[in-house]
């Protein structure tokens, strides 16, 4: 006999779905904030997703595959974006010495300047958070919960979690 959702179970489902939708909205809003930052300084040769990719590369040198697994670039083609950032002078791309099929990317001076600008934007935002009543402890709690949710979804996506199994 199928199990029907109790009041608390239906509340839990609604809360879970609300969190998933909120994450999506936050991501879109964050990308809009990055767009506004780029516009405010007259940078038009890179888009918000590409700028976020640059920020995630930071000081590292990585392959395109590593860049793909390190970040979630929904609706974007990482190879295309890397190509555009190379063309516009934000990234340097080189073939691996050990595997000629593999391409490594790293920031150029222009890319580093943009990442520094985005870091300054983040510092401004963090300074303003206290004015909204969002404290460090709140951010830490959200971070722990989102990390656990991300781990859960990663496990669920590869079939490690099945109905009736405990994730603890």
pLDDT, one tens digit per residue, over 27-84 is 999 999 999 999 999 999 999 999 999 998 999 988 887 887 776 565 458 888 999 9
66 and 77 Cβ atoms separated by less than 8 Å: no
**Residue 92 pLDDT class (50, 70, 90 cuts):** very high
Is 38 inside a domain boundary?
Answer: yes
Is 4 inside a domain boundary?
Answer: no
The CATH number covering residue 140 comes to: 1.10.10.10
Name the residue range of residue 104's domain: 9-157
Those residues whose C-beta lies under 8 Å from the C-beta of residue 74, and which sit 6 or more positions away, are: 27
Is 167 inside a domain boundary?
Answer: no
Is 164 inside a domain boundary?
Answer: no
Q: Summarize pLDDT for 108-132 with one digit per residue, the tens.
A: 999 999 999 999 999 999 999 989 9
Global pTM?
0.81
């Amino acid at each position: 006999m199928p199990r029907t959702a109790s009041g608390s179970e239906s509340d839990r489902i609604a809360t879970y779905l609300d969190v998933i939708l909120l994450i999506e909205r936050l991501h879109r809003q964050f990308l809009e904030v990055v767009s506004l930052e780029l516009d405010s300084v007259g940078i038009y040769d890179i888009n918000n997703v590409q700028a976020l990719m640059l920020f995630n590369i930071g000081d590292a040198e990585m392959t395109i595959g590593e860049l793909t697994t390190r970040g979630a670039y929904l609706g974007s083609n990482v190879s295309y974006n890397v190509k555009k950032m190379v063309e516009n002078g934000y990234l340097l791309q080189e073939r691996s010495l050990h595997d000629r099929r593999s391409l490594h990317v790293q920031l150029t001076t222009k890319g580093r300047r943009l990442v520094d600008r985005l870091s300054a934007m983040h510092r401004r935002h963090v300074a303003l958070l206290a004015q909204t009543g969002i404290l460090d402890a709140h951010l830490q709690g959200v971070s722990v919960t989102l990390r656990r949710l991300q781990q859960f979804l990663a496990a669920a996506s590869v079939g490690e979690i099945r109905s009736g199994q405990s994730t603890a």
